[in-house]
Amino acid sequence: MAAATRRPCQTFLTRALLRYSATRSAATMGSYGSAVPQRRPAASSDQLINLEYECSAHNYHPVPIVFSQAKGSSIWDPEGKKYLDFLAAYSAVNQGHCHPKIMKALKDQAENLTLSSRAFYNDKFPVFAESITSMFGYDMVLPMNTGAEGVETALKLARKWGYEKKKIPKDEVAIIVSCCGCFHGRTLGVISMSCDNEATRGFGPLLPGHLKVDFGDIVALENLFKEKGDKIAGFLFEPIQGEAGVVIPPDGYLKSVRDLCSKHNVLMMADEVQSGLARSGRMLACDWEEVRPDIVILGKALGGGVIPVSAVLADRDVMLCIQPGEHGSTFGGNPLASAVAIASLDVLREEGLAERSAQVGEELRSQLRKIQEHFPDYIKEVRGRGLFNAVEFNSKALSPASAYDLCLKLKERGVLAKPTHDTIVRLTPPLCISSDEVKEATKALHQVLEVDLPELRKEKAETKNAHESHHHASTTCDRCGRRS
Ligand SMILES: Cc1ncc(COP(=O)(O)O)c(C=O)c1O
């Protein structure tokens, strides 16, 4: 559907850009050294969106705004229009865009050494390893790049530990339990736990040995552990479910999970890729209940929004289940990423970003709750911890519009937010955002609900244009059978 709307508006310049790319690849084919570097012509947002649509896989459905420059919590598009970032690249930019200390670490390191591969040592990774393990109180770290790789690593570690230390018979499957509604990334191993049919259908067969339990349901977890505990290697969970719509578990859940995992000798594995590193108002979301998981997975903001860096933290008895040759990554622990990660962690601490997230998050939620009082029919719930927040709308009151439409309207008013599912808008700005910027954003949301939404609903109802591919009828999860 998007193709039909975008292709006709392809302009001359876009086609020129496309031709340019084609010529360039032909010119460079087989003779990379001889191609003459050329300057690309400056392109508009529309041209760039069209170019991407033509040349890149269609695996995303972005809000149509092109980032051209960014600083702190502000974004500029190629036309020079300024926006407030309320997504922070899914928490990868907790420290703010282009943070000077992180940029300096990147540039300084890039001039000296970027990659050794772990076939050799380099002089930055050991320093990063010492810094991250002492900061989070674990014996050892295993470095990777993306969040999904971090999760894959943790899954492999848990299975290895399950067979070697827990003595799960090798001819049986060491089970991993995960939560309904979870999101842990996009690799085949990781989607094997996904409750999102779009993420799994057509990619089978998925990995065996995964069992599901409702997030926040400690009784269900206990029953599962009682029934199959001797075959379960690990329980993987997000302490706050991000992609599910910033879902916060009931008070005491994390502590009870800790107790159950200890009792049944199951590894407690916290995926803090999105919730960690100050996002929720604590350095780790598990800190809200002062629990210490056996394995912590970090990513996103570990790279300061600059470079993908992920890490798996564990103590020696778990980590040393993996021996040389059994797992690795060419780029994991590279000196450039290590230098950036050291600076990224320093910034979180030096600028007190966890405390700041807690404080500004309170301000944001209190303003959102006032909006909810004003529009009780539209807004079902305002929830969050720190600057990890979501507004859930009543689907009936919103219909035929959706959270995606609201995000389009917010964008027109200078605020960039992301929908999740059809009725939830996530509000997760960089943690350096100011109180005034938060007020600016909530004012924009108020205006969207007061001015834009009634118009939008009318327009949509008249055209019966049941909006783009994002609007889904309710479905039943292939894995857990739950209706969404
Ligand atoms: C909790 C969680 N784990 C893992 C991932 C995957 O991270 P990446 O996209 O860097 O692979 C994400 C991404 O959103 C996430 O939210």
pLDDT of 84 reads: 98
Q: How many other C-beta atoms can be found within 10 angstroms of the C-beta atom of residue 20?
A: 15
Cα of 191 vs its chain's centroid, Å? 14
Q: What are the distances in angstroms from CA 223 to CA 40, 62, 194, 331, 478?
A: 61, 41, 21, 41, 22
Cα 211 to Cα 183: distance, rounded to the nearest angstrom: 15
| 353-463: CATH number | 3.90.1150.10
- For this structure, is 271 an active site residue? yes
For residue 456, the CA-to-ligand 1 centroid distance in Å is 33
Confidence class for position 477, pLDDT limits 50, 70, 90: confident
Pairing state of beta strands 267-271 and 388-393? unpaired
Give the atom of ligand 1 at the shortest distance from the alpha carbon of 186: 11
Cα 483 to Cα 44: distance, rounded to the nearest angstrom: 42
142, pLDDT greater than 50: yes
Q: Considering the chain, what percentage of its residues have pLDDT values greater than 70?
A: 89
List pLDDT tens digits, range 269-326.
999 999 999 999 999 999 999 999 999 999 999 999 999 999 999 999 999 999 999 9
Position 193, amino acid: M
Give yes or no for a cis peptide into 205 (omega within 30° of 0).
yes
For residue 242, the CA-to-ligand 1 centroid distance in Å is 9
416, pLDDT greater than 60: yes
Phi, psi (degrees; rounded to nearest 5) at 423: -125, 5
Token look-up 């979301």 returns 285
pLDDT of 476 reads: 81
- Select from 274, 302, 306, 426 the residue to mutate for testing ligand 1; criterion: most ligand atoms less than 8 Å from CB: 274
468, pLDDT greater than 60: no
- Write down the catalytic residue from 86, 128, 183, 225: 183
- Select from 300, 388, 428 the residue to mutate for testing ligand 1; criterion: most ligand atoms less than 8 Å from CB: 300
Tell me whether the CATH fold assigned to 100-350 matches the one assigned to 353-463. Answer: no
Would you say 403 and 332 are in contact if contact means Cβ atoms under 8 Å apart?
A: no
For residue 458, the CA-to-ligand 1 centroid distance in Å is 37
Confidence class for position 42, pLDDT limits 50, 70, 90: confident
Which class in CATH covers the domain with range 100-350? Answer: alpha beta
Cα atoms found within 13 Å of the Cα of residue 26, Cβ hemisphere only: 6
Position 340, amino acid: V
Phi, psi (degrees; rounded to nearest 5) at 415: -125, 130
Residue of minimum CA distance from atom 3 in ligand 1: 184
- Write down the catalytic residue from 124, 166, 300, 411: 300
- Select from 145, 155, 238, 273 the residue to mutate for testing ligand 1; criterion: most ligand atoms less than 8 Å from CB: 273
2, pLDDT greater than 60: no
Confidence class for position 480, pLDDT limits 50, 70, 90: confident
- Where along the chain do its domains lie? 2-60, 100-350, 353-463
Per residue, the 3-state secondary structure of 351-407, as one string, reads CCHHHHHHHHHHHHHHHHHHHHHHCCCCEEEEEEECCEEEEEECHHHHCCCCHHHHH
For residue 243, the CA-to-ligand 1 centroid distance in Å is 9
Position 32, amino acid: Y
Q: What are the distances in angstroms from CA 211 to CA 154, 193, 342, 351, 361?
A: 16, 8, 36, 40, 34
- Write down the catalytic residue from 46, 85, 196, 271: 271
- For this structure, is 443 an active site residue? no
Q: Higher confidence at residue 10 or residue 143?
A: 143
469, pLDDT greater than 60: no
Averaged pLDDT of the chain: 91
Name all residues whose Cβ lies below 6 A of ligand 1: 90, 146-148, 151, 183-185, 238, 242-243, 271, 273-274, 299
Give the atom of ligand 1 at the shortest distance from the alpha carbon of 243: 16
17-21, 301-305, 313-317, 474-478 — which is least confidently predicted? 17-21
